Amino acid sequence: MRYWKPIFVGAIVMAGLSAWTMVDDPVPTGPYPLHYPASFGSRFTIPADNPTTQEGVYLGRLLFYEPRLSATQTISCASCHQQARAFTDGLALSIGVHGKTTRRNSMSLTNLLWVRQLFWDGRSSSLEEQALIPLGHTDEMGSKPGEAAHFLQKTKPYPALFKQVFGSDTITDVRIGQALAQFERTLISADSRYDHFLAGHYQLTESEQRGMQLFNQSPSPDRNVRGGNCAHCHGGAKLYQELFHNNGLDKQATDSGRQAITGLALDQGRFRVPTLRNIALTAPYMHDGRFNNLDQVLEHYSEHIQPSPMLAPELAGQPNGFHLTRSEKTDLISFLQLFTDSTFVHNPQFANPHLK
């Protein structure tokens, strides 16, 4: 018994220390180079007043994993965006500080550098601005404006780090958003087996090959071509096209989606097409997390597409879906699994820095 006490106390002190955040000495500084394949293209804008720097990314990562940003000091961005799940949380709807669920399914934070219209409905146009939304939302982190900044101001080592990044040790919500945005821009996934295949370093199995054809081809019954037309919306090297569509989940959508932003009747029940990067890791699926696995997703595209005036024309060609056979579904799933990037989900640069 005597033995245990000091060890126990020691453990508490250690836990306390690690919660108090240890910072590298010195903190890395200088420009942060963003590496990505040329095929991803450079159609992105980094705000001139928030260039990506090593010290900024360093701070942003600490903040991303910082529960003390939330009203209850219990929830960080990483609670709903976990690296092992490609920055999703495994829940249909996420749970915020007050135990209530969010309106929609958590989104994978991957290749955000290229995303121009953030969220399922595209309502936010910059990562800087976006970060302040979960920070303040009562069903997410629930901090009142300035509250988290005020708290961090009194918390070592943050004032010194903000000084290093922004030239001033005054912590503001805007600067918190800027640092978070810098970290998020570095979350680049480009090392899946599919990327290796595109670079000529991986040979597809026969099933993956057939799956890729179904993914890329538009079906044409008269020419006997089978296909799921997936690439029209989910294709390209990034496996992402910035489009808003209704993929036939419901005849009458209960969540108006894009329409609430644009006011256009034709936008009723349209949502942003999500990336398929790491799709095998990001269940449950769709804006409301209604499907638990990829089998259910393919079941939807195969048999259950609901007609409505808003349904995307690419999905409206055949009644209720593409009517894929069981082996076609197996092939498609084996192709979708190629999108898993284990380097990305294990990259130590993206991991929780408070646990070092």
Binding site for ligand HEC (CB under 6 A): 75, 77, 79-81, 94, 96, 102-104, 106-107, 109, 112, 115, 118-120, 127, 130-131, 134-135, 140-141, 180, 184, 228-230, 232-234, 245, 247, 249, 271, 273-274, 279, 282, 285-287, 297, 301, 312, 314-315, 332
3-state secondary structure the chain: CCCHHHHHHHHHHHHHHHHCCCCCCCCCCCECCCCCCHHHCCCCCCCCCCCCEHHHHHHHHHHHCCHHHCCCCCCCHHHHCEHHHCCECCCCCCECCCCCECCCCCCCCCCHHHCCCECCCCCECCHHHHHHHHHHCCCCCCCCCCHHHHHHHCCCCHHHHHHHHHCCCCCCHHHHHHHHHHHHHCCCCCCCHHHHHHCCCCCCCHHHHHHHHHHHCCCEHHHCECCCCHHHHHCCCCCCCCCEEECCCCCCCCCCECHHHHCCHHHCCEEECCCCCCHHHCCCECCCCCECCHHHHHHHHHHCCCCCCCECHHHCCCCCCCCCCHHHHHHHHHHHHHHCCHHHHHCHHHCCHHHC
Q: Kindly state whether residue 32 participates in binding other proteins, applying the rule CB under 8 A.
A: no
From the list other proteins, ligand HEC, none, which binds 79 (C-beta under 5 to 8 Å, kind-based)?
ligand HEC
Kindly state whether residue 64 participates in binding other proteins, applying the rule CB under 8 A: no
- From other proteins, ligand HEC, none, interface partner of 316 (C-beta below 5 to 8 A by class): other proteins
**Minimal distance in Å, beta carbon 258 to other proteins?**
9
By CB under 8 A, tell whether 47 contacts other proteins. Answer: no
Exposure of 226 in the CB half-sphere (CA atoms within 13 A): 14
Asked if 267 is part of the footprint of other proteins (rule: CB under 8 A), the reply reads yes
Q: How far is the CB of 307 from other proteins (least distance, A)?
A: 10
147 binding other proteins? (CB under 8 A): no
* Terminal alpha carbon distance of the chain: 30
Interface characters, 99-118, with other proteins (x: CB under 8 A): ------------------x-
Q: Does 84 bind other proteins (CB under 8 A)?
A: no
Which residue is it, tokens 């569509």? 245
260 binds other proteins (CB under 8 A): no
Q: Quick one: angle between helices 294-303 and 326-336, nearest 10?
A: 130
Q: Which residue in 175, 270, 277, 287 binds other proteins (CB under 8 A)?
A: 270
Pick the closer one to ligand HEC by CB: 3 or 246: 246
- Check: CB of residue 211 under 8 Å from CB of residue 133: no
Q: Which of 212/310 has CB closer to other proteins?
A: 310
- Among ligand HEC, other proteins, none, the one that 94 touches (CB under a kind-dependent 5 to 8 A) is ligand HEC
Give me the helix-helix angle, 206-216 and 326-336, nearest 10°: 90
Q: Which does 299 bind (CB under 5 to 8 A by kind): other proteins, ligand HEC, none?
A: none
Give the shortest CB-92-to-ligand HEC separation in angstroms: 10
Shortest Å distance, C-beta 117 to other proteins? 8
CB of 183 to other proteins, least distance (A): 26
Cα–Cα distance, 227 to 215 (Å, whole number): 6
- Smaller CB separation from other proteins, 64 or 271: 271
Task: Tell the smallest beta-carbon distance from residue 192 to ligand HEC (Å).
Answer: 15
Smallest gap, in angstroms, from Cβ of residue 12 to ligand HEC?
Answer: 27
60 binding partner (options ligand HEC, other proteins, none; Cβ < 5 to 8 Å by kind)? none
Q: Which residues bind other proteins (CB under 8 A)?
A: 117, 122, 242-245, 262, 264, 266-267, 270, 272, 309-313, 316
